[in-house]
Structure 1
Amino acid sequence: MTHKIVSLAPHHLDDVWRIEQAAHAFPWAESLIRKAPNKIAANFALQVDDKIVGYCFGQNVAGEATLLNIAIDPDFQGKGYGKLLLEGFIDQLSALNAEEIWLEVRASNTRAAQLYEAIGFNEINRRVGYYPSENGREDALIMTYLVM
């Protein structure tokens, strides 16, 4: 299987919307997924052979980047694709002269938090009660990565 990171394009959005709904208990609104990117957008997809298996939405402002949303198709999870996509996102942002990347992750999403830490993100803060959850609210871990 060959994989590559590609810029997210309009023809990818049906796959992205399908994955968003399948991968997240609280998915983004379809209008956000389909919204035309602005000049600070850093949106990418992971293509394996000719299939989109994951995507990420980010932005880059004056060297400070933010990972806003990332997901791998549940049918392809557990195969290392999340790591490939995250490393590809970091590489793309490095090429765009980002110096630092920020993200927030649900405190209950330990698999994602462990992946972020393994790649070099560090938890620097916590937002109490930030995300909706099935039992009310849950905290967001705020993590940062210094681009070398």
Structure 2
Amino acid sequence: MTVTPLSFRAMNDSDLELVCQIEQDASAHPWKAKHFIDSLNSGYQCVVAEMNGQIIGYGILMLVLDEASLIIITVAKPFQGKGLGRQLLEQLQEVAVEHQCDTMLLEVRESNQA
């Protein structure tokens, strides 16, 4: 399987409409726009993944001292199963390391088999 490289950048307010659309399509329990706005306003590390200039995923980290909590990570449905989520996770891990975090946590619903 060939993995397409992604580019990454900080999420901003102008991304929210597309991010919310991806969230609605990809999640059984989607976040509302307010959750993303609160994350941006709280100073969380909000990252979008792009392929050919198109947002195809995003992740949000909450950093506290030396611990990073992965709040959400999502890849748009048409791009799932191609190794892109792994690239996004690796990028988020790099962000955590850049902020001197040595632990990264993720809580997952038991029903979330994917």
How many angstroms apart in 2 are the aligned matches of 1:95 and 1:62?
A: 12
Bigger share in strand:
1
AA matched with 1:100: T
Within the candidate set 100, 110, 114, 2:113 is matched to 110
Question: How many equivalent residue pairs?
Answer: 110
Two-structure CA RMSD over aligned residues (Å): 1.4
Task: Confirm whether residue 83 of structure 1 aligns to residue 80 of structure 2.
Answer: no
The correspondence for 1:38, drawn from 42, 45, 53, is 42
- Local SS of the residue matching 1:90: helix
Gaps of 5+ in 1: 112-148
**Alpha-carbon distance in structure 2 between the residues aligned to 1:11 and 1:107:** 33
Q: Which has the higher helix share?
A: 2
**How far is 1:99 from its partner?**
1.1
> Which structure ranks higher in relative contact order (CA pairs < 8 Å, sequence separation ≥ 6)?
2
CA contact under 8 A between 2:10 and 2:47: conserved in structure 1?
yes
- Cα deviation 1:3-51 (Å, max 9, x = unaligned): 2121111121111100110111111122112334323x11111111100
Q: Unmatched 5+ residue regions in structure 2?
A: none
Task: Specify the structure having the higher radius of gyration (Cα).
Answer: 1
CA distance in 2, matches of 1:42, 1:100: 15
TM-score (norm 2): 0.88
